[in-house]
Structure 1
Amino acid sequence: MEMLDKAQPDLSLDELRFLVTLFETQSLTQAASSRGLSMGAASRRLSALREAFQDELFVRSGLQMLPTARMRAMLPKVLNLLSLSQSLFSSDAFDLANTRRTVRILGVDNAVMTILREAIGRFAKDAPNATIEIRAIDSQMFELLRTGRADIAIYPLKTVPKDFHVVELYHSRRGILVRKGHPLIDLYNKKGFISAEDLHPYRKVEMNHAGAPDFGPAVDPPQEVGISMPYFLAVPYALMETDFTYIAPVLTLLNFLRDDRYELRMLPAPQQMSAFTPSVVWHKGTHSDPFLQWVRGVIVGSARAEARRLGVVEEPEI
């Protein structure tokens, strides 16, 4: 019982939950809202936690609060403590190294290539016995999350039903992918920009994720469809021998440009269709699940780190 005799900070479970929420969202504003705190109360809570742990825990980078090495190392222990407290009332326990749970993620195929790539490596290292199951987005997205048949969705949504949570990963932009020698390249070199009217003469490659929520901006005048398909990774083959265009997040297009097999070029998308903000979405029923809290934190942190590393993050105007 010697450990109990040592003076230790008196921390509540709610304070630990606040740390986990801040780790997930990397936003003091979103963490405060999620925990039902005012901004002042959230700032005071973070200050008290910093003093208790003798560490900054989170450092500001632009509009984000990035976890320190100490906070990243602490997270599994914090989640374990929260799980142990829940085990007083439940038989479920959080054991990251030994859990054999399956996390079910809804997304499109380029989410694996861009948003989940680094997270998968972290997942395999820290939860070596757990499994990731990725399913395609469709019209049942919210129902699958609501009924527990899926755990997390990755999709560019800002508005969700009231019983859901959403965290924006980062603010970025879209680009236009075309073949080498496409007429739009010369036009861009002359004008310095591409307008929706400039795109109109050329047909487009369109993704047809059946029933998925529509997030694309309306374009006037609209482009006709040259080919419609559900596979992002097949796009280069549709462009190399045609004058088709394809508009997608810059991070996705950069992966195509790095492949020497494709002679493709990227141009900036028209301003009205340029903004792109991917998000992580989950139902309130899984909000306090320690394992899924850890998974969401890994996805958010890894996706933001890679986007910053590749220089595709744009700070929103305030």
Structure 2
Amino acid sequence: MSRSNRPNINAADSITRAQLKFLSDLAQSGKLSRTAEHLGLSLSAASRMLDRLREAFGDPLFTPHARGLTPTDAMLRLEPELRRTIEQTDRLFSQPSFDPATLRRTFSIAARGLVVPELLAYAISRVAREAPSVHLEMHHRTSRIWDQIEAGELDLALVPDRAVPPALRTLPLFPIEIGILLREDHPLVREFGGGAPTLSALLRYKRLAMTVSANLHNASWDRQLLGEVPERRDQVVCSSTNAIDLAVALEESDFLMLVPKRGALSMRSRYKLAWLPLPAELPQPAAKQIVLVWRESLQRDPAHQWLRGIIRDWARRGEAAIGGVEKNEAAQGAAPGETQDAN
């Protein structure tokens, strides 16, 4: 092969998949105008692309004849390998097919709070139906949660959006709005007609607390919102990492508990409880929403995407249902604690 007919190695390094597909199409069509039309190119752009390929391969590749272009001997030898290269590239970048029905896997999920039973009721049903050999393993959140996610000890976590490391992936699920959970015929419900009580009225009653963090200062919504004042802290009779344990005590007493609205409304379908907005004197917490968190290496995992989709669907379903409840209550002029429809 003469120097002018040798492949141009530098040009070959810059060949793209689109150029290879152009060459394969031209071998099939035999007409530059037809290949340009197939690939959405102008005739001049197609001509320039053929010139670059001729230079890269060190061969004319096609010779003109009366009805179009005829492949050279080099092009005829090249064509089968060209098709295989394009097919291999397509496989390299294609998403593998995924069928949850064939999946055998355990997913570890960390979550805490009043919404967990509602989440599990939805997720377990769908997982059992769509992927019979998948097992969900539930854990409480701990102070090691970020390390556990990065190390692969946890697949997913539901957490407030505050302080999530930027290296982790997140999906917003629902907003955080803290209020007061109490029995539906509590004196505060009657006194304030289902609206926000005053801070002084709130502080007349002993409280229960749901523990949400291993961090001492942020250990509960109660401590975050009412602070470390001893007189207020001493009003908390009991705290628990599993707030559902306290539901019956709330239902049968005048105790109060500061909780997120989403979880409180879920509880109303199972217990005779109401939810009131916070006193105007108290701010909402720094965290604005609950997010789903996972590590970057799982972002494109089809099985993980499937499970994240189930949790996303649960969150959207719940938000839509809450919106319907609130519209219904507003239309009826009812207090927020007076309806038993939770979701």
Compare relative contact order (CA 8 Å, sep 6+) and give the higher one, 1 or 2: 1
Q: Over aligned residues, Cα RMSD in angstroms?
A: 3.5
**Partners of 2:324 and 2:109 in 1: how far apart?**
24
- What does residue range 16-31 of structure 1 map to in structure 2 within 5 Å? none
Closer/same/farther in 2, CA of residues 159 and 230 from structure 1, 3 Å limit: closer
Specify the alignment match of 1:120 in structure 2: 124
- In structure 2, the CA distance between the partners of 1:313 and 1:102, relative to structure 1 (3 Å rule), is farther
C-alpha distance in 2 between matches for 1:277 and 1:313: 20
Letter matched to residue 226 of structure 2: V
Tell me whether 1:307 sits opposite 2:316 in the alignment: no
2:247 to 236, 239, 245: 236
Tell me the equivalent position of 1:75.
Answer: none
Q: Which residue of 2 aligns with 1:63?
A: none
* 2:116 aligned counterpart, secondary structure: helix
Pick aligned residue for 1:171 from 139, 158, 175: 175
Aligned to 1:26: none
CA distance change for structure 1 residues 297 and 184 in 2, over 3 Å: closer, same or farther? same
Q: Deviations over 1:106-162 (max 9, x none)?
A: 011534323343233222222221111111111111111010011000122243112
1:202 paired residue among 182, 202, 205 = 205
Match of 1:133 in 2: 137
2:260 is aligned to 249
TM-score (norm 1): 0.61
Q: Which letter does structure 2 place at the counterpart of 1:121?
A: S
Deviations along 1:219-244, whole A, 9 cap, x unmatched? 36745311111222222222234321
Question: Runs of 5+ in structure 2 lacking a partner?
Answer: 1-24, 29-37, 40-90, 327-343
Q: How far apart in 2 are the matches of 1:267 and 1:302?
A: 24
Structure 2 vs 1, CA of residues 281 and 291 (structure 1 numbering), >3 Å: closer, same or farther? same
In structure 1, the residue matched to 2:114 is: 110
What is the Cα deviation at residue 93 of structure 1? 8.1
Give SS of 1:115's match: helix
1:47 maps to what in 2?
Answer: none
Q: Residues 306, 189 of structure 1: CA spacing in aligned structure 2 closer, same or farther, 3 A cutoff?
A: closer
Q: In structure 1, what residue type is equivalent to 2:294?
A: W
The whole-number CA distance in structure 2 between the counterparts of 1:207 and 1:278 is 16
What secondary structure does 1:310 align onto? helix
Residues in 1 aligned to 2:310 and 2:251: alpha-carbon distance in whole angstroms? 36
Equivalent residue, structure 2, for 1:219 = 226
Q: Structure 1 residues 270, 238: CA separation in 2 closer, same or farther (over 3 Å shift)?
A: same
2:104 is equivalent to residue 100 of structure 1? yes
Q: Is the 8 A contact 1:114 1:303 kept in 2?
A: no
Alpha-carbon distance, 1:268 to partner: 2.0
- Could you tell me which residue of structure 2 aligns to residue 150 of structure 1? 154
Q: TM-score, normalised by structure 2?
A: 0.57
Report the secondary structure of 1:266's partner residue. Answer: strand
Q: Which amino acid aligns with 2:192?
A: Y
Q: Residue 258 in 1 paired to residue 269 in 2?
A: yes
SS in 2 for 1:168: strand
Which residue type is aligned with residue 200 of structure 1? L
Distance 1:133 1:174 in 2: 28
Q: Unmatched 5+ residue regions in structure 1? A: 11-83
Deviations 1:208-259 (A, max 9, x none): 3562694844336745311111222222222234321012222322233223
- 1:269 matched to 2:278? The reply is yes
* Aligned residue identity for 1:306: G
Q: What is the DSSP-based 3-state SS (H/G/I as helix, E as strand, rest coil) of the residue aligned with 1:97? A: helix
Q: Measured at CA, do residues 197 and 230 of structure 1 come closer, stay the same or move farther in structure 2, by a change above 3 Å?
A: same
Residues 1-49 of structure 1 show CA distances to partners (whole Å, capped at 9, x for unaligned) of xxx99xxx99xxxxxxxxxxxxxxxxxxxxxxxxxxxxxxxxxxxxxxx
- Asked whether 1:182 is paired with 2:194, we answer no
Residue 204 of structure 1 contacts residue 225 of structure 1 at CA under 8 Å; is this kept in 2?
A: yes
Q: Is the 8 A contact 1:137 1:212 kept in 2?
A: no
State how 1:81-100 maps to structure 2 within 5 Å: 85=92, 94-100=98-104
Instruction: Work out which of the two has the higher radius of gyration on C-alpha atoms and give 1 or 2.
Output: 2
Give the conservation status (yes or no) of the 8 Å contact 2:114–2:267: no
CA distance in 2, matches of 1:226, 1:218: 17
